[in-house]
Amino acid sequence: MNLLLISGSTRAGSTNTAVVRAVPELLGTAVRCLAYLDLTKLPHFNPDDDVDPLPAEVVRLRALIAEADALLFCTPEYAGDLPGSMKNLLDWTVGGVEIVGKPAGWINISSSTTGAQGAHRALRVVLGYTGAAVVDEACVRVPVGRGDVSSETGEIDALQVREELGRAAHQIIKVLDGASATHPR
Dump the DSSP string for 139-157.
EEE----GGGB-TTT-SB-
Closest to 96 (Cα-Cα) out of 139, 135, 49, 36:
49
Query: What's the pLDDT tens digit per position in 14-27?
Result: 999 999 999 999 99
Ordered by start, the domain boundaries in the chain are: 2-46+55-175
Would you place residue 132 in the very low, low, confident or very high pLDDT band (cuts 50, 70, 90)?
very high
Report the DSSP beta bridge partners of residue 78: 81
Higher per-residue confidence, 8 vs 177 = 8
State residue 136 phi and psi, 5-degree precision. Answer: -55, -40
Tally the residues of the chain. Answer: 185
Q: What is the mean pLDDT of residues 42-70?
A: 97
What is the pTM for the complete model shown? Answer: 0.93
DSSP-derived secondary structure letter, 115 = T
Q: At 183, which amino acid appears?
A: H
So what's the pLDDT on residue 41? 98
Q: Radius of gyration over alpha carbons of the chain, in Å?
A: 15
Alpha-carbon dihedral sign for residues 152, 143, 6, 23: positive
So what's the pLDDT on residue 60? 98
What's the rounded Cα separation, in Å, for the pair 10 and 107? 17
Would you place residue 48 in the very low, low, confident or very high pLDDT band (cuts 50, 70, 90)?
very high
Would you place residue 178 in the very low, low, confident or very high pLDDT band (cuts 50, 70, 90)?
confident
Would you place residue 12 in the very low, low, confident or very high pLDDT band (cuts 50, 70, 90)?
confident
Q: What is the mean pLDDT of residues 53-79?
A: 96
So what's the pLDDT on residue 179? 81
So what's the pLDDT on residue 183? 63
Query: What's the pLDDT tens digit per position in 133-164?
Result: 999 999 999 999 999 999 899 999 999 999 99
Helices (H) and strands (E) in the chain, counts: 5, 5
Q: What is the mean pLDDT of residues 84-102?
A: 95
CATH number of 2-46+55-175: 3.40.50.360
Q: What is the mean pLDDT of the chain?
A: 93
Q: At 5, which amino acid appears?
A: L
